[in-house]
Amino acid sequence: MFASIFIPHFHVQALVRNEPELLEKAVAVVDGTPPILKVFGVNDAAVRAGVELGMPRLKVEHFFAVVVRQRSAAQETSAHAALLDCANAFSPRVEDTAPDTVVIDLEGLERLFGSYHQIAAQIYDQTILVGLQPHVAVASNPDAAIHAARGFEGILVVPRGMERERFAELPLSVLSSNSDFLETLHRWGIRTFGTFAKLPRTKVAERLGQEGAHLHKLSRGELSRPLNPYKESLRFEETMELDHAIVLLEPLTFVLSRLLDQICRRLRVRNRSTHEIRVTLDLDERGATAHERVLRLPLPICDPRLLVKLLMLDLESHPPKAGVVRARVEAIPTRPRTVQNGLFVPLAPEAEKLELTLARIAHVVGQENVGYPVLLDTNRPDAFRVERFTSAAPLLKQEGWREAPGWSLKRNRPRLTTPAAPLAQRPLLSQEGTSSNIAFRQFRPALEATVQLRAGAPSWIAFRGLFGAITTVSGPWNSSGDWWREDRWDREEWDIGIESRTNSLAMYRIYRDCASNRWFVDGVYD
């Protein structure tokens, strides 16, 4: 058995899908080369209002309450992709028959989805979910399924052998779009499948040739052909063309929200999430290149609200330079994230929530100022880079983690910096308590200082409004490196103590830059 999904008024539905407020309105889609624009597609409400195919746009605009929209090839492509996604959610054997029609092979699906009626109902619901109003029909061969879907509204299951009886009242326009063929039959007084099927096969072949014989077989629902499955390519892309340019970000939020909503529905249908969103905004400015942004996510996400927030935070930081006339969003699919919850899982932020928090903070302080520090394998002072922060769960999946005995996961990371002094070298602990580590607070950039020397050691210092005699001094520590690079360093470090106004000792690390012979305060021990 085969199921067919047909989208009536496809050109209109492709547009209405991204503008749900038009769902109950009469809509006419026009196409052509301006200024000669003619009606290309209409919905039932527009037909009832009197709009006909081929009518000029100027004439249609006189109809009160008929919304006129320009045909959008990009939105039709998106709607067609969504239709294929629906079909692929049920079976891998899908025929891409036409932009508005697909056929699914239902062989063996009863065990998974139930009876043919139940399968058809589920296909119907799934298609509604991606924003399209379908006709769904199940029949014994692909062509019978297509005709049933095109001819009957809602859900229909045609039992095997009952095709001729059920199709008897269908108009011949469902069978073929060939106007010559239809006109010939019309002159003969044949207007339905039933009357055409009653004609003798040999006589039809004599008068109408091979094509007539083929259509005659189709009208009886007897022609059985193998399905022609299409090769699936997972591409989730949605486009919206705008009649008027959007200048402000707030209205753009609604556009992107609709596109992402559709994409997430399609992703869910295919049991996928996304880890990368690509946005292309065509600008209303001659010669301007499209504004492109790529949102890379550290974890698979399929929540449209979260994606919209992340995208808008990114666009607020990098706004388009002109009004937007076309928005295209593409999601790169990936497998959804699976999380093993447990009672004793250590405290960590919820991954999706953390991502939003990080984006908001990055919007305030800058992307480069948020992350976790990674020490570099060098002796250069204060050498680190800031990496993108993720919650603990994704970290476990990264390379470098291994499962240690006893169910604990530890990172197999070489220690790049000097480790804390071995216990034997640590000062003996008194009864007063365990020792901890002296922390160092870095001044970025280092503060330039005026230093006076006595017997080769610093004896007086002034920097940032502070000055005074150095009461304690230890050093020097000479270090240099990267002499072959422009940013080489060569310095002489000292640890010094200065008495503050409150007579407490403050310990600083200072250094002399040997190349410039200038003194700097590197930071304070605290």
* CB count in 10 Å sphere of residue 514: 14
Place of tokens 């499948």: 193
Rule CB under 8 A: which of 451-480 touch another protein?
472-480
Q: Which is nearer to another protein, 19 or 495 (CB)?
A: 495
Using rule CB under 8 A, residue 436 touches another protein = yes
Of 88, 126, 125, 122, nearest in space to 105 by CA:
88
Give bridge partners of residue 136 from the DSSP assignment.
5, 155
Structure tokens at 401: 């983690």
CB closer to another protein, 62 vs 501: 501
Residue whose C-alpha is closest to residue 471's, from 507, 519, 524, 523:
507
Cβ closest to another protein, residue 64 vs residue 344: 344
Shortest Cβ distance from residue 414 to another protein (Å)? 12
- Asked whether position 194 contacts another protein by CB under 8 A, the answer is no
Report the alpha-carbon distance of residue 174 to residue 190 in Å, rounded. Answer: 14
Of 227-235, 272-280, 302-310, 426-434, the window that binds another protein (rule: CB under 8 A) is: 426-434
Assess 435 for contact with another protein (CB under 8 A): yes
Check residue 65 for interaction with another protein (CB under 8 A).
no
Site for another protein contains 371 (CB under 8 A): yes
SS3 393: helix
Distance of closest approach, residue 362 Cβ to another protein, in angstroms: 9
The distance of closest approach from Cβ of residue 376 to another protein in the complex, given in angstroms and rounded to an integer, is: 9
Q: Is 233 in the site for another protein (CB under 8 A)?
A: no
Q: What is the DSSP string of 164-223?
A: HHHHTTSBGGGT---HHHHHHHHHTT--BHHHHHHS-HHHHHHHHHHHHHHHHHHHHT--
How do 155-157 and 135-139 pair as beta strands?
Answer: parallel
Site for another protein in 506-525 (CB under 8 A): 506-507, 523-525
Q: Which is nearer to another protein, 280 or 367 (CB)?
A: 367
Counting contacts by CB under 8 A, is residue 440 touching another protein? yes
CA distance 373 to 360: 19
65 or 439: whose CB is closer to another protein? 439
Nearer to another protein, 199 or 524 (CB): 524
Report d(CA 526, CA 523) in Å as an integer. 9
Site for another protein in 311-370 (CB under 8 A): 346-350, 353-354, 356-358, 360-361, 364-365, 369-370
